[in-house]
Structure 1
Amino acid sequence: MTITQLQYVLAVAEHKNFTLAAQKSFVTQPTLSMQVQKLEDELDVLIFDRAKKPIAVTEVGEKIVEQAKNIVNEANRIKDIVDQDKGFIGGDYTLGIIPTIMPTLLPMFLKTFIKQYPKVNLIIKEQNTENLIRNIQDGHIDAAIAATPLEIEFIKERPLYYEPFVGYVPPNHRLANSTKLDPSDLDISDILLLRDGHCFRDGVINLCNATKNYGEEHFRLQSGSFETLVNLSNEGLGMTLLPYLNTLDLDESKKKYLKHFNAPSPAREVSLIYHKSELKIQITEALRDVISGIVRGAIAFQDVKIISPINKS
C-alpha cells in the first residue's frame, strides 16, 4: 500500500470515473487503474463497483476512502513540519472566498501579500459557502474567507474582522427621513435581497427575524450583485442592506442615501476558515496577519452585534 495508491483512490471516489481521475492526477488511465487494482488485490476487497455508471464506491470502499483522506493528510503534514522548521513560507496555496467578500477584500490585501510572500503561489477561487466547506473537507482548497460562525466540527474559524450592515435608503422610502436605522425598523417585504445561496442574504433575513415565507410581490429578483440592488432601490423598488466595505467605493451621489444603524450595529463576522488538520498553517497564519492588519484600519466600528449567516427562517 502506498500514498500514491491512496491518492488515486481518492481521485476515483471524487470523480466517479477512472479516465477523469487519471487526468486530474496527471497520470495515464492504465497507470491509475493498475495501481487501484493492485491495492484492491492486496486488501482482497473491491473498493469500487465498476459495473455501475457512474462508478460507485462499495460499502467497505466508503470506509477505506475516509481513512485514505486521513492518511494522505497526515502524510502531507510531514512536508509542513519540515517547512515550518526551516521557516519556509511558500508553495501552492488555494484560497476560497465567498462572492460577497471577494470584490472588496481581495484588492485590499492581494498586492501586499504577494509582495511580502513571493514564494507563495496563491490560487484564488470564488465559491459560495457550501462549496467552500465541501472543498475544505475534500482537501481541494487550503483555506477560505467566509461569514461565520459556521460551527462545523472539522473546520477551524479565525475571525479577521467584523463588518457592519449599512442601509441604502432611497429618498422615496418610508425610512428616508430616519437619521439612523434600528433592526426593528426593517420590514423584509420592502428589502431587496441577493439571490438564494448567498449567506449575506440569510444574514439580512435573520436580522429582520423573518419567520414566514417572503418574496417580491410584483417581481422575483435573482441577482448576486449589490450594484444591481442599489440601482433597483434608486428606481423606487425598495431599500437594501450592504456590507460596510461595499459602501466605500460608491459614488458620492449614492453615499448620501446610506444610513448606519444605532449601536450595537448589526454586523457579519468574517473569518479565515480551514481544516482542523492545519495543513500549511504557516501560510494560513501569514495570510491572516496581512488581512487583519489591512482591514483593521478600514473598519473602525467597535460596538457591533454579530448576525448569523445561517438562515434560521
Structure 2
Amino acid sequence: MSTFGFAPALGWIGGSLVAAVMVACAVTCVVLHARRGADGTDETLWSCVRRVLACVIVALMAFTPSMVTKTTSRAISTTDVVIVSDITPSMGVQDARYGSKSDLSRLEAAKSAIADIVRDYPNSSFSAVSVGASGAVDVPLTPDTRAITNWAQSLDTEDSSSSSGSSLDVVIDPLLRALKSIRDAHPDDRIVLYIITDGEQTVRNTRRTFSSLRHYIDDACVIGVGSTTGGRIPSKTAGQWVTDPSTGQPGVSIMDEGQIRSLADELSGKVVITSANDTVASAQIAQQAGSWREDDTQKERTRINPIVWPLAIALAALLAWELGTWIATSRRLL
C-alpha cells in the first residue's frame, strides 16, 4: 500500500531552510511588485506571478514529495546436510542391528540410517562423503535426494588388500574443504554434519581431532553401528575372512563406542548408537531436525520513491517563459 508524504533529501532542517528562503523570495516579489506598480514600473502582473510560482515550486521540491510504499522482503535459509559414511572393511561385519533384532552388516545399518536422515530433512540440500583408506566427496552439495539415495545404495566396503589400517581422520582435510566451500557459497544456510562409523581405529598413530570442523557446522551427530561383541571381518573373496597378521587367525572387529563418543565431543555434537530399539528416526536428533529445516523469514520495509519530476518540469517551463520574456523585453529596449 502506498501513501503520499514528504521526505526531504536534505533532511528536515536543510529542506526547511531552503523552503523558508524561497517563501521569503516569493513574498519579496509580491511586495516589490506592489510598490513598483504604484510608481509606474513596467513589470507585469504575469511576471510577478511567474516568479512567485517558481519560488513556491522550489520550496516544494526542497521538501521532496514522495510516495511511501510498504514492502515485505522474504528471506529463505535452508539446511545443508553433509553425510559421512565409513566404508572400511570392518563395516562389513554382521553384528549390527537397526530397529529390529535381525543382525545385518554395519554398512547395511549405515544405509538405513542415511535413508532416515534424508527423510528427516525435506527441502534440504545434501552432500555425501565416504571414508576408507582415504576420504572423498562422492556427491557435491545438491537438493536432489535421489542422488544421495543412489549413493547410499551403491556403497560397498573397501577391499582389505588396499587398506593399511583404518583411521577416520583421513577424511578431515577433504571434509574441511567441502564444508568451507558450502559455508562460503551459502553463508545464511545451516550446516548439519552426520558421521556414520563403527569407530574402529586400527592404525597406531594418534587420531587427529575433528574440532577444526566446528567452525563451519551448526550441529553434528555421530552414529555408531555395530556391537561391543564384535564379529569377523568378511573378505571380498566369498566364504573367507580377513586375517589378523599378528595371529594368523580371522580378525575380529569390535565397535569402539568410546571413540564414537570422543568424535561427537570434538564436534560438540550428539551420539546415536543404533540397536534393535534405537535408530536415527527414533533418536532425539530426529526430533530436533525440524528446527534445522527451511526457514522462511518475512520482514516489512518502508520504501520511499521521490516524485520531484512533475515539479521540475513546471519549474523548467516557468524559467523558459521568464527567459523568453527577458529576451523580448531586451529587443524592445534596443
Query: When the two structures are superposed, what TM-score results if normalisation uses the length of structure 1?
Result: 0.22
Query: When the two structures are superposed, what TM-score results if normalisation uses the length of structure 2?
Result: 0.21
